[in-house]
């Protein structure tokens, strides 16, 4: 009988074959949960009749929130979350002090920490105690975007990259303690040794991503427009720019390249698409960097727009994320127009040389253009402490995301908010609400991956 049960268990465990998922896809998917904006109503506050009766919801009617609600045992996509709230479900399972008192409920919607990581890793629904079945332990200095910190029986966090200023990690997580009780992104202290540094078995490195020094995005004609998300960490190389060397741009960037066949005026701008984001625009005549990772041939830079008369030749636009006490990467739209001295607006091939689509080798730095997420290089010499974004046309984003009820990426919260019963996690900046993340075996509605409700313990 025991052999039969074991066979059935192993069959269920591997029922859903895990396919490879790219690191960039993991980060972009995870960020959708972080930057999800939604409005709380009387219905999402209370849920259907009989749902957590008389238990106050931390998400109150009439307020706008950023980040999916924390729901103990929750495992669903952003689309499913929005649909369930529209259908009358309660947002999250959290009261002021606990998120698990009522157990796993079908009348509540959101994700918990393990459900969140399971979704973005594109697995079945795993718990913090079973992620070891689909991952392996790695060294901290080998971590790359999309890897994780896992404390079996307690909590799991996604690693994004290491902050160059502080040497601390940016993480994304669903947590039910502290003030957030949601999915959010923040600068964290390094988790304690109880958190294993793990890598998903089926995660794959991005192959020659566009937007790096080695492979810039080619602007083939004007007018031009492109949208991106610097949180994806496609490139993390350029720290400062010679046009404003004291302005720190330590966050991730996207690099664009264009060729002009005749002189004229280039105007380029960047618009941030969400609060808490500060991407800047830079115009370069080469991608040459000095030993301090400064772009030494910067023609102009600004918080929102640059406009310069240029001779015929090869140029670069870089959308880079500003750094104050932390980095401010995120979603953006970049636009560019060109008017030649002859009055041409730039669509013709005699203005933009579209055949020149790859950066010349002598203009590209031979170093890696993709940051692997390793611990910060202590050799960074850009140590300017001035948080003012010199040359910006507008005041940079405040450290607090005012108007949001979800705290905005606080610098480093080293306090353990801890009602999880952990005894040795003093290095954890956010601890989990309970001794174990729930894995729902009775409410298939929480399962959203199309893998026949495979739950692993």
Domains of the chain and any CATH numbers: 21-203+407-449 (3.90.1720), 217-363 (2.60.120.380)
Asked if pLDDT for residue 393 goes beyond 70, the answer is no
For the ranges 79-83, 281-285, 331-335, 345-349, which has the lowest average pLDDT? 345-349
Question: What does the pLDDT read at residue 438?
Answer: 52
Average the pLDDT over 24-28 and give the result.
97
Specify the higher pLDDT residue, 365 or 196: 196
**How does the average pLDDT of the chain come out, rounded?**
80
Cα–Cα nearest to 127, from 418, 447, 445: 447
Average the pLDDT over 165-174 and give the result.
96
Q: How far apart are CA 179 and CA 305, in angstroms?
A: 36
Question: What does the pLDDT read at residue 179?
Answer: 62
* pLDDT tens per residue across span 316-325: 999 999 999 8
* pLDDT tens per residue across span 97-124: 778 888 899 999 999 999 999 999 999 9
Cα–Cα nearest to 235, from 65, 364, 350, 106: 364
* pLDDT tens per residue across span 66-106: 999 999 999 999 999 999 999 999 999 988 777 888 889 99
The confidence band for 424, taking pLDDT boundaries of 50, 70 and 90, is very low
Average the pLDDT over 332-353 and give the result.
78
The confidence band for 426, taking pLDDT boundaries of 50, 70 and 90, is very low
The answer to whether 317 and 219 have CB atoms below 8 angstroms apart is yes
Average the pLDDT over 164-181 and give the result.
87
Question: What does the pLDDT read at residue 102?
Answer: 84
Asked if pLDDT for residue 227 goes beyond 70, the answer is yes
Q: Helix 23-34 crosses helix 113-121 at what angle (to 10 degrees)? A: 140
For the ranges 213-217, 368-372, 450-454, which has the lowest average pLDDT? 450-454
Question: What does the pLDDT read at residue 351?
Answer: 56
Cβ-based burial of 179 (10 A; exposed 0-12, middle 13-18, buried ≥19): middle
Q: 158: which 2 tokens?
A: 């996604």
Question: What does the pLDDT read at residue 343?
Answer: 82
């Amino acid at each position: 009988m025991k052999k039969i049960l074991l066979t059935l268990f192993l069959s269920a465990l591997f029922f859903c074959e895990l396919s490879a998922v790219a690191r960039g896809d993991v980060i972009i998917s995870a960020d959708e949960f972080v930057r999800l904006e939604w409005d709380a109503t009387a219905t999402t506050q209370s849920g259907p009749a009989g749902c957590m009766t008389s238990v106050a919801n931390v998400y109150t009617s009439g307020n706008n929130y950023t980040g999916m609600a924390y729901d103990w045992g929750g495992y669903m996509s952003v689309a499913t979350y929005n649909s369930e709230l529209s259908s009358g479900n309660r947002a999250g399972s959290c009261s002021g002090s606990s998120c698990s008192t009522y157990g796993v409920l079908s009348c509540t919607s959101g994700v918990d920490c393990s459900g969140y990581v399971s979704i973005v890793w594109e697995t079945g629904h795993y718990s913090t105690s079973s992620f070891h079945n689909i991952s392996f332990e790695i060294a901290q200095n080998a971590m790359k975007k999309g890897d994780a910190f896992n404390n079996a029986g307690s909590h799991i966090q996604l690693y994004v990259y290491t902050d160059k200023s502080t040497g601390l990690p940016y993480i994304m997580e669903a947590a039910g303690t502290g003030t957030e009780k949601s999915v959010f992104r923040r600068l964290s202290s390094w988790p304690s040794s109880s958190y294993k540094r793990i890598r998903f078995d089926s995660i794959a490195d991005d192959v020659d991503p566009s937007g790096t020094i080695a492979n810039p995005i080619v602007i083939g004609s004007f007018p031009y427009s492109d949208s991106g998300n610097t949180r994806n960490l496609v490139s993390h190389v350029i720290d400062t720019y010679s046009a404003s060397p004291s302005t720190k741009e330590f966050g991730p960037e996207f690099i664009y390249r264009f060729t002009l066949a005749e002189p004229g005026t280039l105007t380029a701008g960047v618009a941030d698409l969400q609060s808490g984001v500060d991407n800047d625009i830079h115009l370069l005549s080469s991608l040459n960097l000095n030993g301090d990772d400064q772009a030494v041939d910067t023609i102009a830079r600004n918080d929102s727009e640059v406009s310069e008369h240029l001779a015929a030749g090869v140029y670069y636009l870089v959308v880079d994320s500003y750094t104050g006490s932390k980095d401010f990467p995120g979603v953006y739209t970049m636009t560019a127009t060109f008017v030649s001295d002859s009055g041409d607006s730039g669509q013709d091939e005699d203005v933009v040389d579209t055949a020149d689509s790859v950066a010349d080798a002598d203009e590209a730095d031979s170093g890696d253009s993709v940051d692997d997420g390793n611990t910060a290089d202590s050799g960074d010499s850009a140590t300017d402490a001035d948080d003012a974004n010199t040359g910006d046309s507008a005041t940079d984003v405040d450290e607090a995301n005012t108007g949001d009820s979800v705290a905005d990426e606080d610098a480093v919260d080293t306090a353990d908010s801890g009602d999880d019963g952990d005894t040795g996690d003093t290095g954890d900046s956010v601890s989990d609400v309970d001794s174990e993340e729930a894995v729902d075996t009775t409410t298939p509605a929480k399962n959203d991956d199309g893998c026949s409700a495979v739950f692993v313990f």
